Chains A and B, each alone.
Chain A
Amino acid sequence: MSGYLTGVLVVLAFNVMAAYAVYLPLAAGQLNLGIAGFMAIGAYASAFLTNEYAWPMWAAIPVGSALAGLTGLVIGIPVLRTHGIYLAMATFALGQVISAIFLNLEVVGGAAGYPVSDYVGPNGVFLAAAGVVVLMLYLSRTRFALYLTAVKSDPTVADLLGVSVRGIQVAAFALGAAVAGFGGAFYAHHYNFVEAQHFNVLLSVFTVLYVLFGGTQTVWGPLVGAAFFTLAPELLRASDQWRYALFAIFIIVFMAIRPEGLVTTSLLRFRRRKNTDGAAAASSEAA
């Protein structure tokens, strides 16, 4: 594999992890615009533990992820009392605050950034992203995923049927934060350098865009959205400086045509039905 291709795929792997971090709360109807902040927590925590306490990377990364998740849990409880645009504002501010704290924290290099000692290669990053996808696929087969949609669809009825709406929302938010922290920790160890400026609002907003573009109705949406957002600008590279303009126009047109995202439940159901019809036709022909 060429160095260029590997580089692109590594970026894709990070984008996939970030996309699922946003997807989880979004599936329950909650927009987290501060995902970069949780990635920063995972990145800095894991970097700090390996640099200062000589922890092995494989222990530091899960701890970084857990710390991000714990922060999501503690902050999610009060923040998730807000709804809609106010929740978006609150999480937006939260991401900024976390990033600003690291920017001013001299113990992790402050504005100069923080070099990280242990290195994880591209295969490690691919494996991490694959692990996140498998976890999400697993969750999508459980009642947890069902309740995410139920809570988004009608919180009052979900509540009256005994589902803990707040519990599901906080769990999705915290789990999303943990996934973000997991991705952030791998980011730190792959690039061997973290700086607070990387975890900015653009990163959060772009990640939300991947997910909305791919669609929040199915577990495949974030994967497709992240892949599209990572690969399309690369494919348009031939057009040089116009590629981002072309890409932006394409997104606007596409969202106008398919506002519910690229991958939807009806699309998957249609495909499944077509397959079974095809199989039925084939078997009747055979008979």
Chain B
Amino acid sequence: MTNKFQYFSVGLITTWLCIFGLLSFLVMVVMSFLQHDPDHIALWHFTLQNYEDLFNPIFFKIFLKSFYIAFMVTAACLLLGYPFAYIISRLPERLQNTALLLLLLPFWTSSIVRTYAMMSILKTKGLLNTALLSMGIIHEPLQLLFTNTAVGIGLIYNLLPFMILPIYVNLERFDISLIEAAKDLGAKYTTIFRKVIIPLSVPGIVGGCTLVFLPAMTLFFISDLLGGAKALLLGNLIEDQFLMANNWPRGAATSVLLTVIMAIGLLIYWFKSNKRINYEAAI
């Protein structure tokens, strides 16, 4: 009975993923090698033109800009998330669970809704400005919304848990006796941290960085809503290719390229964690 149920549930999920994940990805891969035709979705004619188009200076600039934003966001998340994960992993177990629950609580709401909430905090007559004005800290409302600062705040807020969780999972399993051994050998706290803790948590760091870096390049609604749509991210580019330019093959090529970059990131992570994917960390 249990066995039948297992087969059923695994089979159902596999079928689901095959149809809606794998099959639609394969359609995109095939599409990315087809010729663009303004009157149809695509012409059944093999071409590498769509990938060649991606070596255009404009697309290159968009890639570069997305990379830059994603890099800054990842660095900020790492700086904020690492100490956070370290502290949680050293709490008593009961508190650890509470801390994790609190960390994940905001995910019960969709991130678009949370981004709108962020707008109502940051806007000219928003919560933050009203509070600061009434306390007399500022005399003119701060113009925060529709700036790069707002985009940074929004991205870091949305992605920080994805950095904390893999690092936490890694540190939580950390063998405390290694620290004691280092202490016995006379190492200072900074040395222990630099030479023992950090090197052993590299898989967690790589995992967290992968989970933050890629969404940071594609979460275009955050840059649209909080940044006033002044920047183009890879996500916008893909959307534009499909809808604005009506060029499905090129849009497909762009998203396939992004998937390839993501796959490379995951492969690096796989090798770093001794050829064993840490599924818990990837949640």
A and B associate? no
